[in-house]
Amino acid sequence: MKRDESIAFIFFVLLMVIVPLISESTYILTVGIFAGINALVAIGLCILMGYAGQVSLGQAGFYGIGAYVSSVLSLYAGIPPVLSIVCAMIVAALAAVVLAVPALRLKGHYLAVATLGFGEIIYIILNEWGPGGPSGFGDIPHFGIMGYTIDSTSGYFYLIWASVAAVMFFSLNLLGSGSGRALRAMHDSETACNAMGLNVVVLKIKVFVLSAVYASLAGSLYAHYVTFVSPSSFSLFYSILVLTMVIVGGIRNVWGAIFGAVVITVLPELLRKFEELDVLVYGLILTMSLMFFRKGIVPILIDTIKRARGSAVAKH
Amino acid sequence: MLSIKAIQKSFGGLTALSNVSFEVREDDIKALIGPNGAGKTTLLNIVSGIYQPDSGEVLFLGERIVHLAPKAVARKGISRTFQHVELFVNMTVLENIMVGRHARTGYGFISSGLKLPAVGREETEIRQKSEEILEYINLAHRRDEDASNLPIGEQRILEIGRALATEPRLVLLDEPAAGLNIRETRNLGDIIRKIRDELKITIVLVEHDMDLVMRISDSVTVLNFGEVIADGTPLEVQKNRDVIIAYLGDEEIISGGYGAHP
């Protein structure tokens, strides 16, 4: 991590510790929990698309795998959630390797359609063979660790945002390392990467697996928090929603993924007072933000701060 | 050091290279020239593993490399630049060089994500070496700029620097002077010479700028319509009748054309 990033990271962790202390409202914490879950999926998609230049419209598939595998293992096999979450990550990682095989041959729109197909396959599998079929199943055990079960809203808020912090820590380190540079290089020119001796095939598989593991973690946490899952939460709509978060926040910056996840999760709540017009206003805000902030909110904020710093230095 | 042996390559019905053979000696600057469409870039692409020839062999330090993929060729110690610059345009000048060093390092996603101490040490070393390369090619003052903001002359030199970062034994340069002005071309020639003289890296140069070719190369191979028509020192090649015909047309046509005046 660079210095600015470390400061931002510490600030972000403090903010997440403070929010539940000053907020009495379960409602705000619940919205915060969902924002955190979405942020986990969005960070993975941001690295995959914004950094590595691969497209995915199938993240809901990995999210669904995380939710269902962990739920089934903990509910029916009695495996503690800590372990079942890890098992789900492994299943998601294997699924990502399978998806990466066609992805290695496809680019752009074609890759988008292939990943969309993958997401739909998982959705159909959950519908047909998942416990409870289309109506889903409940009584999923709460998350617990070493005999201590988390069942309060603030407990889940901390658990989920601690996960976001851990994932963010890992991601910032990764992106700041040689591997991160290789991912960005692959985005710009695969031909040149090959000429440098980089293994583009392995890099692509790795980055698909990474985004799948993040989405799977999010899905598992979702399932143990809500204690009920049904296939409808893991449809194409969710993949598009995460894509929207990443683009609104700023696709070339991982902070943008968190920011976009919070904005897109909170926005519908704020728009409740427009009643039946809320969807209309929501659409309007999205369209406008893409027209005027094409690079995304976070990169524009960073540019503004840099410019302000620059002019402060110039005045001296 | 590099032997091209009876390379044959056609695209559909079009023969790009037919029975091309020549040698590149160690520590030489070898120029590969010829009119447009003579097959120069095709040959570079075969050496660097992008194309497979229909038949023929490429030996590098005595080893067959013709079946290898580009990344494997790069790891054997052959690096290259591209006719249409292939820089990492969304990355800084320094980062471009740093990517060049990445293939030499062994750490994966997990150790990088957890920032294990070894990764940090390696990163410091990569940065140091890359900065040295930037100094070497006189681009240190551009260090933190986006590669896409450099003028074309500096972009081409940055591409050479990135190729050096892989610590190659042989560098293939595909028209490095294209789009450069006279001053930039002279600077480019100096850098290519310096790389050969000081770093002992062998150079294969595909180039249309004859002043540059004649000034810096030790040996020149001329291709025309996919065949080698001359091979020798710059002076020998300049005097070669076939080469003159390939570039200027047949003597009779020339003398006929000008001689039409009574």
Residue of A nearest to B125 (CA): A178
Contact B71 A170 (CB under 8 A): no
Min Cα distance A49 → chain B (Å) is 14
pLDDT band at B105 (very low <50, low <70, confident <90, very high): low
pLDDT of res. B247: 80
**Chain A CB contacts of B107 below 8 Å:** 177-179
DSSP helix/strand/coil, B219? strand
Beta bridge partners of B59: B3, B64
How high is the ipTM of this complex? 0.86
Q: What is the residue-averaged pLDDT of chain A?
A: 90
- Mean pLDDT across the stretch A184-210? 92
Residues B176/B31, Cβ–Cβ less than 8 Å: no
Domain ranges of chain B: 2-259
Min Cα distance A175 → chain B (Å) is 8
Just give the CATH number of A3-315. Answer: 1.10.3470
Residue of B nearest to A51 (CA): B90
Name which of A285, A296, A290 is nearest A260 in CA terms.
A296
pLDDT of res. B246: 82
Min Cα distance B54 → chain A (Å) is 22
Interval B31-77: pLDDT, tens: 999 988 889 999 999 999 999 999 999 999 999 999 999 999 999 99
Residue of B nearest to A175 (CA): B113
pLDDT band at A148 (very low <50, low <70, confident <90, very high): confident
How far apart CA A311 and CA A94 sit, in angstroms, is 50
The encoded tokens of residue B168 equal: 């190659």
Could you give the maximum distance between any two Cα atoms of chain B, in Å? 84
Residues B240/B230, Cβ–Cβ less than 8 Å: yes
pLDDT of res. A286: 80
Beta bridge partners of B64: B59
Given CATH 3.40.50.970, say whether it is the number of domain B2-259.
no
Which residues of chain B are at the A interface, by a Cβ-Cβ cutoff of 8 Å? 48-50, 69-72, 74-75, 79-80, 82, 86-91, 95, 98-105, 107-109, 112-115, 119, 122-123, 126, 162-163, 165-166
**Chain B CB contacts of A199 below 8 Å:** 71
| Chain A / chain B CB contacts < 8 angstroms | 105
Least reliable range by pLDDT among A101-105, A226-230, B68-72, B101-105: B101-105
How far apart CA A126 and CA A237 sit, in angstroms, is 15
Q: Is the pLDDT of residue B259 over 80?
A: no
Min Cα distance A155 → chain B (Å) is 26
Interval B126-169: pLDDT, tens: 999 999 999 999 999 999 999 999 999 999 999 999 999 999 99
- Asked if A7 has any chain B CB less than 8 Å from its own CB, the reply is no
Interval A201-243: pLDDT, tens: 899 999 999 999 999 999 999 999 999 999 999 999 999 999 9
Sign of the alpha-carbon dihedral angle for A232, A233, A235, A240: positive
pLDDT of res. A283: 84
Q: Is the pLDDT of residue A90 over 70?
A: yes
pLDDT band at A269 (very low <50, low <70, confident <90, very high): confident
Q: What are phi and psi of B73, to 5 degrees?
A: -60, -45
Residues B110/B167, Cβ–Cβ less than 8 Å: no
pLDDT of res. B240: 86
Give the 3-state DSSP-derived string for B51-67, with helices as H, strands as E and coil as C: CCCCEEEEEECCEECCC
Name which of B4, B16, B68 is nearest B42 in CA terms.
B16
Helix H or strand E segment including A169 = helix A153-176
How far apart CA A182 and CA A189 sit, in angstroms, is 10
The encoded tokens of residue B153 equal: 């002359």
pLDDT of res. B262: 43
A127: number of CA atoms within 13 Å, CB side? 11
How far apart CA B156 and CA A145 sit, in angstroms, is 57
pLDDT of res. B257: 45
**Beta strands across the sheet bearing B2-11:** B14-24, B2-11, B55-60, B63-64
Query: Which of B72, B98, B114 faces A181 most closely, judged by CB atoms?
Result: B98
Min Cα distance B136 → chain A (Å) is 19
Residues B229/B22, Cβ–Cβ less than 8 Å: no
pLDDT of res. B258: 46
Contact B88 A182 (CB under 8 A): no
Substitution target from B76, B115, B121 for chain A, most A beta carbons within 10 A: B115
pLDDT band at A313 (very low <50, low <70, confident <90, very high): low
- Asked if A182 has any chain B CB less than 8 Å from its own CB, the reply is yes
Interval B75-96: pLDDT, tens: 999 999 999 999 999 999 999 9
With a CB-CB cutoff of 8 Å, which residues 109-168 of chain A face chain B? none
